[in-house]
Amino acid sequence: LLYEQHGEPAAVVQLKDLEVPKLGDSDVHVKMLAAPINPADINMIQGTYPLLSPLPAVGGNEGVGEVLEVGRRVAALKPGDWVIPADAGLGTWRTRAVFPEEVLLKVPSDIPVLCAATLSVNPCTAFRVLADFESLAPGDSVIQNAANSGVGQAVIQIARASGIKTINVVRDRPDLSKLVERLMALGADHVVTEEMLRKPEMKDIFKSIPRPRLALNCVGGKSTTDMLRQLQPKGTMVTYGGMAKQPVMVPVSAFIFRDVRLRGFWMTQWRKDHAQDQGRVAGMMDALCQLIRRGQLTAPACTEVPLQDYRAALEASMKPFVSSKQILLL
């Protein structure tokens, strides 16, 4: 799926037949199996993301493929192995590709294909934001908004597996009770709407669990300010997204009297910073794959779409209140 200019995805993305390039000595011929449509993919096509691929570009930053053939200098991969992108910007929305070996990460092929296809962005982001900013112990709590997003669903499950409680904020919607039920089934301890954040009843939650030391923000605007008020003194809020396209507003009192910390996180930057630290990357992937094998981490709610129906999938991924991730089957 190729785009030659930036613009609205359904208008600029086209399905084209291209020749598969010749296999070089350090290359890997990959048959792509499945690739999701993430908000960052949409923003890259629109031209609004901080990382843009040179045009013409193939869409997609995430997905899983099977190795068909390897160049004679490739030692770490063999036909039949499953691989995912080691970094953003790979262009995963295609059936076949020849990639240099170093842009791929091997993943076990005994995990479900949808888990592998959605492994490299959201679960990694969830894993890092839970691990890198506060040293959380079993019984501690975390509050997050956009709790039904891909990252949100992964945070609930990874926290649950570590004995950490989650308070999950979602927007009010027509089928709210269904969504609450789904997040509780994943292991959420509390699910509240943005409106409930402002109500005195929020205090009741903290009779049974401690106030959170960590807040995870993917929205911005008023709901983020309301979420910040729930943090413990000296707590940390990590912003990894801005779905509302509004700034984060913080009362001066939160800094002076509660000494809260505001931090940011971008998975793409983390990968750049740790490009030489393969042990740390492998450790994270290994921990996530073990959670998947134990049934403690599942793929986000997905809608599987054949490649030729890509336009419908692009449009569906941009609708408000989307609780299901569109996955292109390649």
Give catalytic residues, as residue numbers. 49
pLDDT band at 88 (very low <50, low <70, confident <90, very high): confident
pLDDT at 266: 94
Give residue-wise pLDDT tens across range 15-70: 999 999 999 999 999 999 999 999 899 999 999 998 899 999 999 999 999 999 99
Residues 52-66 as b/e (b if ≥16 CB within 10 A, e otherwise) read ebeeebbbbbbbbbb
- Rounded Cα distance between 44 and 51, Å, is 7
Average pLDDT over every residue of 257-273: 95
Domain boundaries, the chain: 2-118+299-329, 125-267
Q: Please say if the pLDDT value at position 207 is more than 80.
A: yes
Fold match between domain 2-118+299-329 and domain 125-267: no
- Looking up tokens 């989307």 gives 322
pLDDT at 22: 95
- 2 Cβ neighbours under 8 A, 6+ residues apart: 13, 14, 15, 16, 18, 56, 57, 58, 59
pLDDT at 321: 72
Q: Which DSSP string do the residues of 51-92 spell out, in sequence order?
A: S-PPSSEE--S--EEEEEEE-TT--S--TT-EEEESSS----
Count, residues in the chain: 330
Q: Please say if the pLDDT value at position 111 is more than 80.
A: yes
pLDDT at 175: 87
pLDDT at 257: 95
Q: Please say if the pLDDT value at position 289 is more than 80.
A: yes
Q: Please say if the pLDDT value at position 203 is more than 80.
A: yes
- 159 Cβ neighbours under 8 A, 6+ residues apart: 130, 142, 165, 166, 187
pLDDT band at 144 (very low <50, low <70, confident <90, very high): very high
pLDDT band at 87 (very low <50, low <70, confident <90, very high): confident
CATH of segment(s) 125-267: 3.40.50.720
Average pLDDT over every residue of 73-96: 95
Token readout for 150 is: 């891909």
The class (CATH top level) of 2-118+299-329 is alpha beta
pLDDT at 145: 96
Distance of CA 330 to the CA centre of its chain: 20
pLDDT band at 5 (very low <50, low <70, confident <90, very high): very high
Average pLDDT over every residue of 108-136: 96
What's the whole-number average pLDDT of the chain?
Answer: 94
Backbone angle region of 174, left / alpha / beta, with phi > 0 → left and psi within -120 to 50 → alpha: alpha
